[in-house]
A and B are shown apart, each in its own frame.
Chain A
Amino acid sequence: MTSTIEAPRSPYTRSAKKRGLNWEKWGWIYMRVSGVVLIVLIFGHLFVNLMLGEGVSALNFAFVAGKLASPFWQTWDVLMLWLALIHGGNGMRTLVNDYATSRISRGILKVAILLSVVSLIVLGTLVVYTFDACPAGSPADLLPAVCSTL
């Protein structure tokens, strides 16, 4: 009896060349570009929140509410949210392509990643743009202290 030990690799075959947008190429470029932008966004975010002014002790509900009321920080946070989640999701997709061996498990994992990325982006964007620290008509005892000064 003769046998060879197959390499334990995923068995799927190279798909026929498709025309149109090359997702692998643009995914690769996206990772590089978003990575550089995220370095600025995340370290800027950490610097402003933790080091500027009173530092970490300034962090409270009013601080976050104040930031989310400004269009500049809204744009900053939404950019950070979208870029980071898609960057992370694409990275996870690459790992799945590398290590998921069967077509079915690969499909399930990729759909799960897509769903979590999309739902987090939608929820996060909704929070950033619709956040209201002092909703009108709420009982005063449920509102934070800052609302009385407004």
Chain B
Amino acid sequence: MSTATIANQPVVPEEIQSFTVTLIIRRFNPEVDDEPHWEDFDVQLYPTDRVLDALHKIKWEQDGSLTFRRSCAHGICGSDAMRINGRNRLACKTLMKDLDVTKPIYVEAIKGLPLEKDLIVDMEPFFDSFKAVQPFLVAKSTPVDGKERQQSVAQRARFDDTTKCILCAACTSSCPVFWTDGQYFGPAAIVNAHRFIFDSRDENAAVRLDILNDKEGVWRCRTTFNCTDACPRGIQVTQAIAEVKQAIMRGKA
């Protein structure tokens, strides 16, 4: 009898505990400040919340002047790359349960690009490098049957990894060479060149390899693997750069 009464009791979901997290954010207001400064905020959060949720709570409930980029908030648009506890991550893909919440969480803008406000940097130098490698399909010949350029599964798989790039700049702004050298193309540009260099439909691989064979091209890469560690899409960035190096050495894609 007693077991039956227990089984009939309504299932009460276990209450998920929220906790207070301290975020220390590097703030910079170009209209007031000369130098960036660190400011801390206490936020009530759940383990399933993301750093982006914490930033939203601060912006909506505590300090409306906090400025950051975000669009889709689901790890696709690549707007909210930032330096979280010293590592480049997407704020929308970093869960509280994966961070040590007993200590404050440090959030700052990505490094190596001009800081504009709070967590926003000027992305133009990054996109200039991206544009310089011709990140678009160049195919002057007419397809065989006049309809489409067909590709085998293996040919598509050759460059599959580098098609995943969302241009969030997490890799490029984690690269110590990019931090100091104003002209290095950076991992993201090389990844996007790789995507077309190894595409069987593309005919401009030689031109892209020539661009990346520059003094500030792939040879600047010191294989520190910071970019591979930073990539929110799990692209093997350092391997892609090494494949481009190999292609340049052999003189073809």
Contact = CB atoms under 8 A, between A and B. Distances in A.
Contacts of A9: 112, 179-182
Nearest to B109: A5
Contact of A2 (B30, B112, B125): B30
B213 interface: yes
B31 A2 contact: yes
Interface stretch (B73-81, B100-108, B114-122): B114-122
Interface in B205-253: 210, 213-217, 219-220, 222, 245, 248-249
Interface in A94-126: 94, 97-99
B215 A15 contact: yes
Given A4-B30, A7-B113, A28 B219 contact: yes
B245 A4 contact: no
Given A12-B182, A29-B249, A5 B114 contact: yes
A7 B112 contact: yes
A14 B31 contact: no
Contacts of B31: 1-2
B182 A10 contact: yes
A6 B30 contact: no
Contacts, number: 68
B111 interface: yes
Contacts of B219: 24-25, 27-28
Contacts of B34: 3
Interface residues of A, number: 25
Interface string A13-48: 111010000101101110000000000000000000
A97 B184 CA distance: 11
B81 to A, nearest CB: 15
Contacts of A53: none
Contacts of B36: 5
A15 B215 CA distance: 8
Interface in B21-45: 28, 30-31, 34-36
Contacts of A6: 114
Nearest to A28: B219
Contacts of A137: none
B151 interface: no
Contacts of B176: 98
Interface of B: 28, 30-31, 34-36, 111-116, 122, 125, 176-177, 179-183, 210, 213-217, 219-220, 222, 245, 248-249
Interface of A: 1-7, 9-15, 17, 22, 24-25, 27-29, 94, 97-99
What are the 7 A-B residue pairs with the smallest beta carbon separation, nearest first?
Answer: A9-B182, A24-B219, A5-B115, A28-B219, A14-B183, A4-B114, A98-B180
22 contacts: A1-B30, A2-B30, A2-B31, A4-B115, A5-B28, A5-B114, A5-B115, A7-B182, A9-B179, A9-B181, A10-B180, A10-B182, A14-B183, A14-B215, A14-B216, A15-B215, A17-B214, A24-B214, A98-B177, A98-B180, A98-B181, A99-B180
